[in-house]
Amino acid sequence: MTFINSRLVVSLFIFLVSLGAAYATLHPFSHGSAHDPARRLHMDLNDAFATHWKGRTGVNVSIRLARNKSGEPVHALVDGLNIITLALSYDKTTPDGKPGIIPLRWQPLPRNSSYASPYTSTIVFLVRKGNPKGLSDWDDLVRSGTEVITSNPKYSENGRWSYLAAWGYALKQSGGDEAAALEFVKRLFANIKPSDSKSGKRDATAAFVEQGLGDVLLVWENEAHLLTHEKGEEKFEIIVPPVSIVAERPISVIANGGSSASDVAVAYIDYLYTHPAQDIAAKHYYRPRDTAVSATYADRFPATELFTIDDVFGGWHNAEKVHFARGGVLEQIQSN
């Protein structure tokens, strides 16, 4: 995900569901890396929903994954249908403010759920096998001699989640003392080993996994599981800190009302909250909302105290304004 001049550029996936022989003309986009964890998840979810819809209605649907190459929103219509997942929760207000890009109505929540995101993740520590530095909590990351690898929050969505996870932890530990949280994050940044001045998620991961830099990588839990699975459990292990942040990508529908495609779109999102879809999410190492599925995968997802962006920062808009805007807290920390 790209950030330019500390302003968020919306990055999204658009799941284009077409009925029959409908087609759409799109701006150029990248299909994404085969190793993109979100892409893998949604490929399986798309196939599962297509099978589900066929069994329910007898109608074949084709679901295609698209992501704009530059990170800009893609204005694309297939039978009046778009389903999108947004990388940051506060992005769900942007369609109303960008009529030239997505001039359609916005449904912020699925009909059958109080959650805007059907599954979640959190920020965890990926360490070398045996955890040689004995890292178990956020306080361990600010110890002298600990080298931390993380994406640069100035440019990376993943880095912003990690930054806010650390800030939220420090704020809770200090009883809400903002000055103490600032001092803690300053100490954390003093231990961050830079891998690239504009390090994105892939750069930070490569620095830790491929180049062997650092003692710990701050990363989404689902990605940490994939890395240990792919690179070898004999090389890495995952530490889930006692306190961390709920990382989520809300999903909704943008559609021209009244079309049959709109019905399919809403049914698709409703399906994501069903037991089969929740099980697929858990198999891809995302934390499911369904309590029965969560119980099945309890060993995979250790219990931890999770806080939300709204709980600690008053929402993404406020976090952006205070921490990531020009002249914000992050810029002040990084300029020191």
HEC letters along the chain:
CCEECCEECCCEEEEEEEECCCCCCCCCEECCCCCCHHHHHHHHHHHHHHHHHHHHHCCCEEEEEEEECCCCCCCCCECCEEEEEECCHHHHHHHHHCCCCCCCEEECCCCCCCCCCCEEEEEEEEEECCCCCCCCCHHHHHCCCCCEECCCCCCCHHHHHHHHHHHHHHHHHCCCCHHHHHHHHHHHHHCECCCCCCCCHHHHHHHHHCCCCCCEEEEEHHHHHHHHHHHCCCCEEEECCCEEEEEECCEEEEECCCCHHHHHHHHHHHHCCCHHHHHHHHHCCCEECCHHHHHHCCCCCCCCEEECHHHHHCCHHHHHHHHHCCCCHHHHHHHC
Q: Tens digit of pLDDT for each residue in 52-75? A: 999 998 888 777 665 544 444 333
Residue 307 pLDDT grade (very low, low, confident, very high; cuts 50, 70, 90): very high
> How confident is the model at residue 166, as a pLDDT?
98
Taking residues 321-328, report their average pLDDT. Answer: 93
Q: Tens digit of pLDDT for each residue in 254-301? A: 544 445 556 777 788 889 999 999 999 999 999 999 999 999 999 999
Question: What integer best gives the mean pLDDT of the chain?
Answer: 77
Taking residues 110-137, report their average pLDDT. Answer: 86
User: What domains are defined for the chain?
Assistant: 3-117+249-272 (no CATH), 121-246+306-335 (3.40.190.10)
Residue 105 pLDDT grade (very low, low, confident, very high; cuts 50, 70, 90): very low
Residue 317 pLDDT grade (very low, low, confident, very high; cuts 50, 70, 90): confident
